[in-house]
Structure 1
């Protein structure tokens, strides 16, 4: 039924600032843009991170406070990634947290109010290498 992650969408009151912030963080420009939207392809599976002008958010969407699910992106070094995110102006949402052997998580709130999770995940690495 669920075949794979297609797009993680983040809302921003200032899309231009959000695009500049994520371009700095990711080290690449959006691969697709249209008025009110910018999209990056990132990671081993080229998943999409979409930035959307908050004017297009569905009625009743959370504003001002983080809410909803936390999507964790695999990284090779959670501490270094967390430090970089904080240096770019993100605020700690969840501190560096060991979850068990091979699993460490942390999350931040970006300057636009979205929660961005990062994780070192041994299962991710195993699947990437063709294991189970």
Structure 2
């Protein structure tokens, strides 16, 4: 297979130091740097990188949103709001029965949250068998 796994997700922000620090606290990890234009943290899902926004990658709403699996959607929303995030979309129930919401972090980028249910996990497994 050509594409093996997601190596990292990069967020384009105005201030990489502030954004990296905010997410490092969220994931209880340390900030690492590749160079002056790129900081990253290790998360359970992989690397989360921070790069200065520019004309080609202006960051913010309208780009790709990464959805993180959470145990309790409302609890996750409240915890992120306490840290300065703002609810942007949802919460909603998806067609498969999961609960989802999107927030804006303090840097204008989106954070997706997904709380799977037995129904949504079953629906995804059924789709895997059908596809």
TM-score (norm 2): 0.77
- The change in CA–CA distance for 1:5 and 1:121 in structure 2 (over 3 A counts) is farther
Q: Structure 1: state its 5+ residue gaps.
A: none
Partner of 1:3: 4
CA distance in structure 2 between the aligned counterparts of 1:2 and 1:100, rounded to whole angstroms:
28
- 2:67 is matched with which residue: 68, 72, 94? 72
Task: Give the drift of 1:109.
Answer: 1.0
Task: Give the drift of 1:36.
Answer: 1.9
Task: Give the drift of 1:98.
Answer: 1.4
CA distance in structure 1 between the aligned counterparts of 2:15 and 2:29, rounded to whole angstroms:
19
Once superposed, what is the RMSD of the aligned Cα atoms?
2.6
CA contact (8 A) 1:11 1:112 kept: no
2:14 aligned with 1:13, yes or no?
A: yes
- Runs (4+) of structure 1 exceeding 3 A deviation are none
Task: Give the drift of 1:3.
Answer: 2.6
Partner of 2:89: 94
CA distance in structure 1 between the aligned counterparts of 2:101 and 2:16, rounded to whole angstroms:
25
2:109 aligned with 1:114, yes or no?
A: yes
Task: Give the drift of 1:103.
Answer: 0.9
- Specify the structure having the higher radius of gyration (Cα): 2
TM-score (norm 1): 0.77
Partner of 1:49: 48
What is the number of residues matched between the two proteins?
Answer: 121
Task: Give the drift of 1:26.
Answer: 1.3
